[in-house]
Amino acid sequence: MPTIVQIQTPSPSIEVLLHPELLNALNLAILLFSLFFNLLTVNMAVRAVNTCFLFRSSSPPLRFSSSSSSSCRRNLRCCCFCCCSSSPAFVPPPPLSSNYGARLQRRSVYTLFDSVMEELRAMRKRRNNRISAASNMGLLNEELVEDRLVSRSLQKGLLLEFKKDSDRMLLAVAQRPDGKKNWMVSDQNGATSSIKPQQVTYIVPGIDNFDQADIADFIKKVQDNMDPSLLEFAWVELLEKNKSVTVEELAKIIFGSAEPLESYSTHLLLSRDEIYFTVLETKGSRSIYGPRPSEQVEDLIRSKLAKEAAEKELQEFLKLLVSAKSMASQDKPPKFSWMDDEKIRRRIEYLEAYAVDSYQNDEHRKTAGMILKAMGLAKTASSAANLLVDIGYFPVHVNLELLKSGTPTEHSEEIISVGQALLSDSSDPDENIRKDLTDLKVYAIDVDEADELDDALSATKLQDGRIKVWIHVADATRYVQPGSIVDREAMRRGTSVFLPTATYPMFPEKLAMEGMSLRQGDLCNAVTVSVVLHNDGSIAECSVVNSVIKPTYMLTYESASELLHLNLQEESELRILSEAANLRLNWRRQQGAVETATLEARIKVSNPDDPEPSIKLYVENQADPAMRLVSEMMILCGEAIATFGSQNEIPLPYRGQPQSDINVSEFAHLPEGPVRSFALVKVMRAAEIDFRKPARHGILGIPGYVQFTSPIRRYLDLLAHYQVKAFLRGEPPPFTSGKLEGIAAVVNERFKTVRKLSNNSLRYWMLEYLRREPRERRYRALVLRFLKDRIAALLLVEVGLQASTWVSVGTQVGDEILVKVEESHPRDDIICLKEVIKQ
């Protein structure tokens, strides 16, 4: 029903008929406009377009209800509408007389009100757009969003919350402006700082002059109000009403009051809530919140419960870790006990992966990092390793490099089973072409703990005075063929791994030790390389045959050197071998060979899982007669195979090392031995491999070289055996040069990994050895070179370890000094030496 409003004017009054839709629009805003009274006549009436406005002339004056303000009355008398917080309540005029319609003369005036109507429609459209965000959630409120998000400007004495850093929110009292925008505030900790407006997260309402000293008491009272269950009740009510709220409006719902204490308590509840409410809109430090849909709340509750269960499991796991750490070494739970429970096992595996940088995904990394943080440890690989050591899961001396490298330490049941079957097979594909060499005295010389014996030596003097040497190499191909499952596993490993604590063979242990290896007093299949030397040490003739031998002696380097020193008549063959080695060395030197003999350390650790295992250190001089003998015979064998392969056009891994740029005379001023060898090695170029023809090996001083003497422990040696053995049978080689090259590329990468592992493991145990030695012990050290100023690289003669330290002024390269060990930390690869000045 339209409402008629009478407006008093100097001319006869105008009646305005307002449609209900227009009254609703005027609740938002009343546009000021002029009626231009001089243009209106007594009987003029104006109807708005689409019946929204209807102005009628009438004599009764405009009457307001008692609730209308005097200002509104004055403004209307001035022909303007005023903006009020709510629509004016109008008292309708007396009922119209029956002849009212006849007296009323209507006349449309579009030009006067077109702009007014257009503006009203635009206002309505803007209002709808401003609340569209809330409309999407069905949260349409009576007031404008802008009205509810009016922020209070900063001023002295306000109590506010601000973001100190990414993890901390602090309460503070505003003190004074600091520049154009910043403010100085005094926080709950008593600190004064300058903050930016965007750091303010909430201004506590209803406080104008708060005392900083009262913040602590205010916080305590707030904590007493923190009951998250209050949000759930408010969520139910607001979801039913489809309403959004400000912090203060919600405070009235859950506390019945929007006083400072209740308002800030509500703000904290909302800021910590992750389930019931979401922020619809934010402006400065003010936000409007809306209840989440019930389906979403259910999902969030389930997620929260799962998270709480996981947190409970984590806390129980942390208790286990703390308990295990506090136990004595002998009482710590064994490794297998951590594997019984699936959830515990999984977390232990995450920590283990973190310790060796091998976690499978980011979630595993985060879980391990969270455990370390909860234990008060840095999120580093070493912290994870130390924690696993402390709980007894890792032994004290765990080889992290071994775990990182992914080196297999065991053979699968399938490989072991196949290896056992091969041992049981007595057939020999080369039986008819094997040469019986069991009449030769055969010497196998190796380190005392060698498990895989794959080469041995024999020698005699021919009637013309020349020396004939036989190098017998274990015939691994008697048991394994190219492409077989055992061969593929050997190729995957690439090499046997020799560590101070254990040996991990390339082949299954039983097959390697009992089948392939040379054994004293047993008939053994071998591939024998025989060489006749000229008197100058060069090769006169060579041949390769399948053979059967019966090793006579298994000697260590120490025992072989002792026999050579004794010069026993009954061991004349050993003396001939030594003579042949000397001939070869002299000949190679004449061909430009570079001497690189040095000191080499070897360590054997018994019971490595014990906190204090037994360590045996051996330092071997490569210039030792027995070591020199074996080394020269291995080089001779390599040259002979390269010659044999070249003569018969066999694709092999021919090794070369061009060294034309090395002038040995430039190093003559350095003492012969480790010091000179060290300097020469620094300028050497890497070896190269050609798979078609031999290439000169400048360092060894020979025209070609093929590694052939370790088929049980090196896969490239086994490849050479496959090729040579096929030729001896009259068959084509199993691999072309291109195929050999592809296999070698993969195997060499694996070999580099194992070499790094072996070197790092050896160094760890050398440092552990030095850590245990008495502090007062003194060590001889050779100065190898100067690194910077007076910092010199040293070689500890009794240990075979390279390290560095400051040396006194006047010390030269090649000098021998005394040092002592100040500190040694194997896990961190740290050793600190100090020169002992001779008195």
Q: What is the CA radius of gyration of the chain?
A: 48
Say how far apart CA 653 and CA 744 lie, in whole Å: 8
- Put the strands of the sheet holding 801-806 in their side by side order: 801-806, 791-796, 779-788, 816-825, 830-836
Domain assignment of residue 126, yes or no: no
How far from 257 is each of 249, 254, 453, 743, CA to CA, in Å?
9, 8, 90, 81
Q: Which helix (H) or strand (E) holds 547?
A: strand 539-549
- Give the model confidence (pLDDT) of 723-768 as tens digits: 999 999 999 999 999 999 999 999 999 999 999 999 999 999 999 9
336 & 442 share domain: no
Give the mean model confidence (pLDDT) for residues 34-60. 33
Domain assignment of residue 463, yes or no: yes
pLDDT above 80 for 7: no
How far from 317 is each of 349, 351, 366, 389, CA to CA, in Å?
13, 12, 16, 16
Q: How far is CA 540 from the centre of its chain?
A: 58
CB-facing half-sphere around the CA of 644: CA atoms within 13 A:
27
Mean pLDDT of the chain: 84
| Helix axes 625-647 and 715-728, enclosed angle (nearest 10) | 50
Query: Using a CB cutoff of 8 Å and minimum separation of 24, what contacts does 191-200 make?
Result: 195/162, 197/154, 197/284, 199/162, 199/163, 200/154, 200/160, 200/161, 200/162, 200/284, 200/285
Q: How far is CA 666 from the centre of its chain?
A: 47
| Helix axes 294-326 and 362-374, enclosed angle (nearest 10) | 60
How confident is the model at residue 664, as a pLDDT?
79
**Boundary residue ending a domain (296, 324, 343):** 296
- Give the model confidence (pLDDT) of 480-524 as tens digits: 999 999 999 999 999 999 999 999 999 999 999 999 999 999 999
CB-facing half-sphere around the CA of 502: CA atoms within 13 A:
14
Domain range holding 240?
A: 152-296
> Quick one: what percent of the chain has pLDDT higher than 90?
72
- Give the model confidence (pLDDT) of 356-389 as tens digits: 988 888 999 999 999 999 999 999 999 999 999 9
647 & 546 share domain: yes
- Give the model confidence (pLDDT) of 131-165 as tens digits: 443 444 444 444 556 667 776 789 999 999 999 98
Domain assignment of residue 291, yes or no: yes
Q: Return the closest-CA partner of residue 430 out of 519, 548, 529, 523.
A: 548
Domain assignment of residue 661, yes or no: yes
- Give the model confidence (pLDDT) of 176-222 as tens digits: 999 999 999 999 999 999 999 999 999 999 998 999 999 999 999 99
829 & 736 share domain: no
**Boundary residue ending a domain (755, 789, 810):** 755
- Contact yes or no for 471/481 (Cβ under 8 A): no
Q: Which helix (H) or strand (E) holds 688?
A: strand 688-690
CB-facing half-sphere around the CA of 248: CA atoms within 13 A:
14
570 & 483 share domain: yes
Confidence band, pLDDT 50/70/90 cuts, at residue 87: very low
Say how far apart CA 204 and CA 171 lie, in whole Å: 10
pLDDT above 90 for 264: yes
How far from 786 is each of 395, 791, 793, 820, CA to CA, in Å?
38, 6, 6, 19
241 & 370 share domain: no
522 & 587 share domain: yes
Give the mean model confidence (pLDDT) for residues 545-549. 97
Domain count, the chain: 4
445 & 476 share domain: yes
pLDDT above 80 for 573: yes
pLDDT above 70 for 16: no
337 & 248 share domain: no
Give the mean model confidence (pLDDT) for residues 460-485. 97
Domain assignment of residue 636, yes or no: yes
How far from 168 is each of 119, 199, 828, CA to CA, in Å?
48, 11, 36
676 & 613 share domain: yes
Query: Using a CB cutoff of 8 Å and minimum separation of 24, what contacts does 427-431 make?
Result: 428/478, 428/525, 429/478, 429/729, 430/475, 430/478, 430/525, 430/546, 430/725, 430/728, 430/729
- Give the model confidence (pLDDT) of 424-466 as tens digits: 998 899 999 999 999 999 999 998 777 788 999 999 999 999 9
How far from 760 is each of 58, 396, 407, 563, 766, CA to CA, in Å?
108, 17, 14, 34, 10
Domain assignment of residue 54, yes or no: no
How confident is the model at residue 117, as a pLDDT?
53
**Boundary residue ending a domain (266, 296, 326):** 296
Confidence band, pLDDT 50/70/90 cuts, at residue 125: low
Domain assignment of residue 55, yes or no: no
Say how far apart CA 119 and CA 115 lie, in whole Å: 6
Confidence band, pLDDT 50/70/90 cuts, at residue 720: very high
How confident is the model at residue 89, as a pLDDT?
35
How far from 341 is each of 313, 347, 364, CA to CA, in Å?
12, 10, 18
pLDDT above 50 for 238: yes
How confident is the model at residue 635, as a pLDDT?
98
pTM of the model: 0.70
> Residue 794 belongs to a domain with what CATH number?
2.40.50
- Give the model confidence (pLDDT) of 685-719 as tens digits: 888 999 999 999 999 999 999 999 999 999 999 99
Domain assignment of residue 48, yes or no: no
Give the mean model confidence (pLDDT) for residues 3-17. 44
For 109-228, where are the alpha helices, taking DSSP H only?
110-130, 132-136, 145-148, 215-225
160 & 216 share domain: yes
- Contact yes or no for 4/17 (Cβ under 8 A): yes
578 & 477 share domain: yes
677 & 812 share domain: no
